[in-house]
Structure 1
Amino acid sequence: MRPIVLTRTHKEEQIEMHSKPQGVDEAVLNVILKDLPVGVALFDLTGALIKCNVALQQMLGYANEEAMPAMTLDEFIRTESDKTKTGLPAELTALDGLVLEKHYTRTNGESLWGRLTLSLIPDEDDKPLYIRAILENITDYKQAVDSLMQEQYLTHLLMDNIPDHIYFKDLKGHFIRVNRALANAFGLDALEDAIGKTDYDFFWEEHARDAYEDERQIIQTGQGVIDKIEKETWKNRPSTWAQSTKMPLRDATGNITGTFGISKDITDHVADEEVLRQQNEELARLHKESELFSS
């Protein structure tokens, strides 16, 4: 079939918005369009709006079909990135099956995101007769996606910049995610290199065994460990001290699927406390000696 080339006639010669489309029974058309939950509009081959259903009117914020402006298909489908373009494609076949997401502004100023699907309605000879546009309201979906993307951005921001060590493990103690600081401490270039490994790959058994026992207890009881002071015996560097909080990792239904935790390096603090302890012991010894000398 040879593509039909769209031509724009003078506005006064276009089919009026509410005119009855040739070859379509008005009563049948109204029944088809009335109760559909999605917005539906019919355009002629010049792009002039012929008919739309109540759902589309309500989506765009109009009280009825008469209140809607004489919107053309070009205006209906043009996205922000296409706002400098005018007119429909030269060939109708370019419209058939076209799916796009478009932002609309309702009459009350609210935003509406829609998924628009176009298709050609042929006549008895299989030649294009009308252009059908179906609009689904995906505003809630778009807002949910935007919210999820914002949460992911904030999570990545935290995981990439906080100096404390953050990790997530499965039920067997394998790492499923670590933050940048912990990956650096492990001596790994990529965060993904930690996935599937355990504490035994990075710590000597002294600390790895204690950490594993903590995790088994957390998984069995569902109770976390808060602010535990523990010595970390690294394989790739000197031992450190950490203040750790470990909690059960649960899925959306509440089932425990592993553990997660955060550890803060307090090596300098522990060293300072040790110096203070030694100083206090020395003072106590000197005080005792002075008492003996005085007596």
Structure 2
Amino acid sequence: MFKTEKNYLRILIDNLPDLIYFKDAEGRYILSNRAHYTSLGAKSEEEVLGKTTFDFNPPELAKQYSEDEKKIVMSGEPLIGKEEIAYHRDINKMRWHLTTKIPIKSEEGAITGLVCISSDITERKEFEEMLKRERNQLRTLIDNLPDIIFFKDVDGRYILNNIAHLRSIGMQNQEDVLGKTTFDFNPSELAKKYHDDEMQIVKTGEPIVNEIEQAFHKDTGEFRWHQTSKIPIKNEFGRVIGIVGIAHDITNQKQVEEERERLISELQKALNEVKTLRGLIPICANCKKIRDDQGFWTQVESYIQDHSDARFSHGLCPDCFKQLYPDISRKLSEKKPDPEKN
């Protein structure tokens, strides 16, 4: 039965993708599964047994592995989940391993050897490195945008802020903001509005897009106008797991709009004050007085002055002068030289 169980165990470890090997207290291999001896460039376990890590690995790697194992033998403490570089001779490439090495103890407690298990985590490490690069690229991008950008969890705690946002809330370091909320940086009435909006997004999953709102900039001590969008971040199941906020400072635009509205208002006021004459004007055929809007008859000049910006300078035309002052008119005409005599 013991032999059968041993065979079952051997079949099991030889068909696992992980590298499994046993060593004695001096670091010599006493068991190596197929994945392990293949990675060493060997075609069978027999080519590995009795040899050490120095027979198969570059000196600097072999030295590190040997030192780790000696520490385990000396201390009796296992090495758990160490990420390390390993050389695969079969493909002539370096790979990432997640390695655990556990001491084997005799009944008396003496360390007689080690059992080691290494999982190839190269794909995971490459994926992590890709994510790290993409995160750095994203960080570089958002930190160089003029817009305010921030990420929050579902409780409204900051988990990422770009430089523009950090500056606007009076902070310099990302670490000083992580885990805090809008209430730590904004006036209470504004913070409550922001928080209520965000909790509504978490509840409904619906974004807020291009909302015009006021924001307090602690770095300048002034209120500014923002055009803000807040978008829910959802996991693969559609559950909201956070919020990304983007705010564009439109203060200058608002000031231009307000100035334009002021000018339009002043122009409208000026136009309302402009007096013009138009339409039918009721005038007496005899005395030439004009009936105003209240039904009173007034002189022509009075009516025109009341309904326009025109003003009158009074004088007499030649015909009226002759009619009103005939003697003076006759004397003046007698004094005029005769053009035919000249």
What is the identity percentage for the equivalent residue pairs of Structure 1 and Structure 2?
26
Please give the TM-score of this superposition, normalised by the length of structure 1. Answer: 0.63
Q: Which structure is larger by alpha-carbon Rg, 1 or 2?
A: 2
CA distance in 1, matches of 2:64, 2:156: 59
CA distance in 2, matches of 1:151, 1:128: 46
Which of 248, 260, 265 is 1:264 aligned to? Answer: 248
1:74 corresponds to 2:85? no
Amino acid in the other structure paired with 2:11: K
Which of 162, 184, 202 is 1:179 aligned to? Answer: 162
Which of 101, 107, 118 is 1:135 aligned to? Answer: 118
Which of 9, 34, 39 is 1:54 aligned to? Answer: 34
The residue aligned with 2:182 is: 198
- In the TM superposition, what are the counterparts of 1:117-136 in structure 2 within 5 Å? 117-118=100-101, 132-136=115-119
CA distance in 1, matches of 2:222, 2:141: 27
> 2:194 aligns to what SS in structure 1?
helix
> 1:35 aligns to what SS in structure 2?
helix
The residue aligned with 1:238 is: 222
What are the Cα deviations for residues 217-243 of structure 1, in whole angstroms up to 9, with x where unaligned?
423421101122223356772221111
Q: Alpha carbons of 1:126 and 1:199: their partners in 2 closer, same or farther (altered >3 Å)?
A: closer
- In the TM superposition, what are the counterparts of 1:271-290 in structure 2 within 5 Å? 271-278=255-262
- In the TM superposition, what are the counterparts of 1:1-295 in structure 2 within 5 Å? 31-36=8-13, 37=16, 38-42=18-22, 49=29, 51-58=31-38, 60=39, 64-65=43-44, 72-76=52-56, 82=60, 93-94=70-71, 96=73, 97-98=78-79, 100=82, 101-105=84-88, 107-109=90-92, 111-118=94-101, 132-158=115-141, 160-169=143-152, 171=154, 173=156, 175=158, 177-191=160-174, 192-193=176-177, 195-199=179-183, 201-203=185-187, 205=189, 207-208=190-191, 210-233=193-216, 237-250=221-234, 253-257=237-241, 259-278=243-262
The CA RMSD measured in Å over matched residues stands at: 4.8
Please give the TM-score of this superposition, normalised by the length of structure 2. Answer: 0.56
> Does the CA contact (< 8 Å) of 2:33 and 2:45 recur in 1?
no
Amino acid in the other structure paired with 1:142: K
Q: Alpha carbons of 1:293 and 1:74: their partners in 2 closer, same or farther (altered >3 Å)?
A: farther
Q: Which runs of 5+ in 1 are unaligned?
A: 1-24
> Does the CA contact (< 8 Å) of 2:61 and 2:86 recur in 1?
no
> Does the CA contact (< 8 Å) of 1:52 and 1:65 recur in 2?
no
What are the Cα deviations for residues 126-146 of structure 1, in whole angstroms up to 9, with x where unaligned?
877666543322224423433
> Does the CA contact (< 8 Å) of 2:151 and 2:161 recur in 1?
yes
Amino acid in the other structure paired with 1:268: N
The residue aligned with 1:4 is: none
CA distance in 2, matches of 1:208, 1:87: 55
**Is 68-77 or 164-173 further displaced after alignment?**
68-77
CA distance in 1, matches of 2:223, 2:132: 38
> Does the CA contact (< 8 Å) of 1:183 and 1:194 recur in 2?
no
What are the Cα deviations for residues 134-172 of structure 1, in whole angstroms up to 9, with x where unaligned?
332222442343344334434544554433222344556
CA distance in 2, matches of 1:270, 1:197: 28
Q: Which runs of 5+ in 2 are unaligned?
A: 279-307, 309-342
Q: CA shift at 1:114, angstroms? A: 1.9
What are the Cα deviations for residues 64-100 of structure 1, in whole angstroms up to 9, with x where unaligned?
4279789742255668xx35959956x9743534565
Q: CA shift at 1:263, angstroms? A: 0.5
> Does the CA contact (< 8 Å) of 1:43 and 1:49 recur in 2?
yes
